[in-house]
A and B are shown apart, each in its own frame.
Chain A
Amino acid sequence: KAGVTQTPRYLIKTRGQQVTLSCSPISGHRSVSWYQQTPGQGLQFLFEYFSETQRNKGNFPGRFSGRQFSNSRSEMNVSTLELGDSALYLCASSLGGQRGTGELFFGEGSRLTVL
């Protein structure tokens, strides 16, 4: 069974640009969650999508947005990039979502560097 796939793995952007990250969950998983990981703050919850609906959202500005498609694949977008957005962005899929006590299966992440 294929794991969670995130693309691209690495990318470099400049301030003010925007970026779109993609996540393909494990087949059959309907929930996709996104996290931002930085050395100082650790893993911070961005949002969770379940069956194309945003079910929960973390405390991030509106520049961070996401969506989920009918095949459960998800994308997240960050507009007007700032230096502080440099981080590892992790996607995780699960069967029933975070409310269902199911474990999260993480991808390898997309490492974003903002110059």
Chain B
Amino acid sequence: SQKIEQNSEALNIQEGKTATLTCNYTNYSPAYLQWYRQDPGRGPVFLLLIRENEKEKRKERLKVTFDTTLKQSLFHITASQPADSATYLCAPLAHGNLIFGKGTKLSVKP
């Protein structure tokens, strides 16, 4: 069965540093992968989508890479700020629907 793993449940970094979150998937080849942000008590909010034929996608301070050989996506937040503290979810497409990872809770300390 399809499996999605996000590198760690929690990641703590200092303000101004780059946060790197990892999403690994097994047993399938998604046509695309999405990243979402979720704040406590709220629904997830879409951030970025990257297709299998794209190596990298950027949006302001966010960058996503997609390595179909390694079956891995990396999500970077540069110049991180305390307001970036949230849970980040990756969601590859599998058999017609998005399968979400359990998320990585990012805490950015001032």
Contacts and interface: CB of A to CB of B under 8 A. Distances in A.
A and B interact: yes
Interface residues of A, number: 24
Contacts, number: 58
B43 A108 contact: yes
Nearest to B94: A45
A106 B100 contact: no
A43 B100 contact: yes
Interface stretch (B44-52, B57-65, B72-80): B44-52
A98 to B, nearest CB: 5
A8 interface: no
Interface of A: 4, 33, 35, 41-45, 48, 55-56, 58, 90, 92, 98-99, 101, 103-109
Interface of B: 31-32, 34, 36, 41-46, 49, 51, 89, 93, 95-103
